[in-house]
Amino acid sequence: MTSFTFISGNLGLDLAGTLQHRRADRRDLLREPADLARWTVEAGILDVPPTVVDADLVAGKTLREAIYRLALYRPAAGDTIDRPAVGGAGVAADDRLLVNRVAAGPPASVLLNDAGRVERAGDLAAALSTVAREAVQLLGGPRAVQIKECGGEVCTRLYVDTSRGSSRRWCDMHECGNRAKAAGFRARQRA
């Protein structure tokens, strides 16, 4: 069973991180509908895995990719999301429209039960709406400039850099950061 990681600082970026190593040896952690259902619970969006069919998995992956592209896009002065940057490297208006459409749906419900505990409920559409809403808040807000891509050799995970001086280089110090530091140490030892 695949283990999910929630280290990006935003549910939208965590969803985007379910496709690892995007530039080489891609590893999709959402291989079947049950994976997406389990992700919604592990992400803390729902308490019970929702019903997910193949078409829902496609919709979840489509949202994931739209968020990823929007998170990487940095428009030049005078450009908008709907107008690609020089060279056509911008984001399609469809990505923005898709994320907005999913975010407009009703989110997962959060209730305080009679035992004083939080209950999270909803179907997959509500879970994806919750993810899209968080992505919209990040991508359209002041923290958008804090989105970075991991500096690991093959890692393409995006994260919100909240470190002092925006000096964070890796998505996770325990994995990518540790690998990079160990490789640097070995290189110094050989020299």
Provide the pLDDT for residue 25: 87
Whole-number pLDDT of residue 186: 59
Minimal CA–CA distance to 139: which of 46, 24, 15?
15
pTM for this predicted structure: 0.85
Please give the pLDDT value at position 156.
Answer: 87
Evaluate if residue 130 carries a pLDDT over 80. Answer: yes
Which H/E stretch holds residue 65?
helix 54-72
- Backbone phi and psi for residue 30, each to the nearest 5 degrees, phi listed first: -105, 75
**Residue ranges per structural domain of the chain:** 11-145
pLDDT surpasses 90 at 107 = yes
Measured CA to CA, the distance from residue 170 to residue 153 in angstroms comes to 10
Q: What is the pLDDT of residue 182?
A: 57
Q: By C-alpha distance, which of 66, 58, 7 is closest to 30?
A: 58
Closest CA to 67 of 29, 87, 94, 104: 94
CA 9 – CA 4 distance, rounded (Å)? 14
Given a cut of 90, whether residue 135 has pLDDT beyond it is yes
Q: What is the percent of the chain where pLDDT is above 70?
A: 82
DSSP H or E segment with residue 121 = strand 118-121
- Kindly indicate the confidence band of residue 85, based on its pLDDT and cuts at 50, 70 and 90: very low
More confident residue, 3 or 180: 3
